[in-house]
Structure 1
Amino acid sequence: MTKKQRAQTVLAELEKLYPEVPIPLDHTDAFTLLVAVALSAQTTDKKVNQITPKLFEIAGTPFKMKDLEVSEIKDLIREIGLANQKAKNLKRMAEILVEKHNGTVPQTFEELEELPGVGHKTASVVMSQAFGFPAFPVDTHIHRLMTQWKLTSGKNVVETEKDAKRLFPEKTWNKVHLQIIFYGREYSPARGNKEKDFLTKMLFAE
């Protein structure tokens, strides 16, 4: 199988498994999605979904978030990793959204990536899932599986993103990146039993 054929096989199998893919992070609008994704760094989506309802009840808009003290935000998110830094980032992010963007989440990569705690991956998730812009957010799961499927030899997520965008049709990007994440969690976890990982076996069957 060529690399392109492997990508087509991956696409077809993932579409069978996950014809519909919910966004794993609970949110109600672009701002709450942005906050949830920023909080999810080095933390599970499940944990983020456990702590965000109370956070969003109190500070579900940039205007409300900026009025909280860093210590108050930290108290609301203390159960997740890097709570100290994330609390500072959320407050400053909210301030910038209000000062520069009238309290709305900007719809460009450049403006999103200027916000504290927002890297390219977070910006890609917001651009794709909140605004429908074609993007291919690459996290450690996607990087690992793309490498495992020999669809990239990228040494980092930047290279893997370029390869993914080259191999998968643009119209599939917003969905397939989620499908790969779901597959990794269900069939090919980073640690643990890989017996269920039928797709890797299929791609490299003799």
Structure 2
Amino acid sequence: MDKRVLATIEKLVDNGFNVEFFNTKKEAKSKLLDDISVKEDVGIGGSMTIYQMEVHKDLIDRGNKVHWHWLVEPEKRDEVREKASRASVYISSSNAITEDGKLVNIDGIGNRVASMFYGHKKVYILCGVNKITKNIEKALERIKTVACPKNSERLDLDTPCRYKGKCYDCKGKDRMCNITVILESKPMGDIEINIYIINEELGY
């Protein structure tokens, strides 16, 4: 394991998160499916990592009730986001993870980031090593020059970052950078936050 990755994992553990390392997304998905009971309902936040890993397909195929707004028509997305927010298990990714063990995320609506730390018994955050950054400043830079432009293009949004590759603090209706959340450590309470670090490039 790369020393930088190992150091990041150690800091995440110091900050109260449960962390596991996997060499491949296949290994990570196998462990995730073992950890989640088929009886549990699962909410999923918008994530290219989850989409690429096809976690949702395996969960649905084996009988889990899955709530993911990406899987329904636009008029039903708010309803599904609400159901996802009340699921016993929540799965997503993080826009960035800092070397000192913090999770940094920017959201447009806020459902994903809220569910990462509140409302669920168990949360699983799946991240490729490409999401690891030096510090919060570099994490925000990564989000605004990589994640936001790519997501804006994917969603066909009319934002400056889509065309110019970086944030211009736009004010239009399609702006995605509305909510910034930094998880410095595990929140108080019984919530279990599990972070899977995967030794591949995944998501944006």
What TM-score comes out, normalization by structure 1 length?
0.22
Q: Which has the larger radius of gyration?
A: 1
Greater RCO, CA 8 A, separation 6+:
2
Structure with the higher fraction of residues in helix conformation: 1
